Structure 1
């Protein structure tokens, strides 16, 4: 399924003098203002397109007195151009590759431009701050109902109010989720299933970094449990609402730092699960190991849940978020490199792309960086390691 994500350039850009238009039935045609001619195929690619579905939230279609079709937005924007053109669907033929539409400079809002998510419900863990907040905000501004799964409900409510200043009718819910407690994880999943029957999108965004050595009340090293084990468990407990949806997606936020993990064999994983002694602990190694576990989990989950699209992704390097809050040294370092790293909106783009991009329907078990497929480490692709490492929770949830 990976082979459809071929490399390409921006060949779909229209030549000078051309304009893209739509008929009342949604067929896309191309107007050459120099020759005054029209055609159904793209002048560069030779492909044909169609726009489908309802207009994006806030838009309505009107007809003027002279018979012209107009598209009117609630923010006093009027245009002759169908707003759905931004996400027109190509007639897919075997010879037509899916081209890369976004990159490291893209924002989550640009990824979602023109999309209508009003019939979707999503959970975003760690959504009250940083990348998680921008992820939740972007989805909500496009009509998705977003459940903010957070440890601090007061901060979650403050985040909701901030987003509602931009869109008053944005739909939210909050869910108390303390990833340092497996009991809290179980209760959160139980409360969600009592209230909702389906879950279209699950984005496992929450994470910690550079904390001192400590064990959770469940007896696990904290970075290992918060970044990986609890979110793994949370996903399994939500199996029914996720698999009850057609075309549901699970997005696991990992990191390029997984390439520097010290884990190589199943014996290494057993030692990690048993929690290393304090004298062997290094916060960077703990973080790298947890992020490798995230990708291995995504690989095995995709095998066991074939009807669900499962992705792992890298948001960006040293993004100025709250991730470095546990270390003054790292906070200073992150501040120094801030002009050279992604913004929070840009960092949220890849997880939002994985969660919503139409071209990823039917694609699964892929790792993305800068809104595009890339190959993770050799260890992350080891199917035997993924199966053995995740087997215990998968069968004993």
Structure 2
């Protein structure tokens, strides 16, 4: 026991010395360089920070963008369900629902394969503790079968999704075309209304709505199933000296803290994303107007004025992009710092049981995987 303790101390000292350059040189230098960059890089932006951007408070003809938690969850889901009902209660009543049924079946098959891989994981990692050449070849064969089955499921899942998306987009586009075309003149004649970028709304936003609403809906259903499935699996493989609820509680606390901080830091990104679409559409419309009136511009020699108008439009795009970049940087710093903590946190909880010999390496890896899936599900929700 004394020899083992001395050996452990020696290895710990070697680990400390191996990182001395990083600890005492590179790490402080990176902090200093980051601070200098933050202090000096803003003049290089060449952006007018005082330039006003479009409103998003529902006043003066602007569209209301609700950045609250309820606005980004419940209210957004309610509005999305109303738009989805146009398709699934109409042209997609039969074909669209058949696509959904097929996708549900594919997802269930994928979950079964995930469970098979979860069970396979224990035998795979235990091989490192109990080497066996015949077992190795059997594991490789089973891995190949699982890999091919998951590959086929993955490919056809996305293929059927594309079939659904195209059919959904086709009929939703036709629906809005019938609204837009007969009413275009009326829209132009109405005063006090701002109909921004209808081409983008019909061409781009329909596609984004379909893909986003589908991924969120199926994502919620999938994480709910995963949450129940892996919670049950974790309860069956947790070390005997620990209650499984404490592990689930740790994953829950980790996810809640991360989600709350991410919402506080990044809720304004929805606002800037909406502004980016509007400002980009306005810039394209201005370019198109100059092209359509090129003869008038040339005859009046108003090139400088038109260039000024175009640059003014683009300056607003630059400002909105910079504001988005600043938010994304803060989110990135937190995310890159917080996400790896999960691995260290779960390892600190589970590693002592492996060191004391209470669980095998395969069981340890299974617990880590189950905790990762539970944490991902809670973070998604």
Structure with more strand by fraction: 1
Q: Which structure has the larger Rg over C-alpha atoms?
A: 2
Q: Whose RCO is larger (CA < 8 A, sep 6+)?
A: 2
Structure with more helix by fraction: 2
Shorter-chain TM-score bucket reads under 0.3
TM-score (norm 1): 0.21
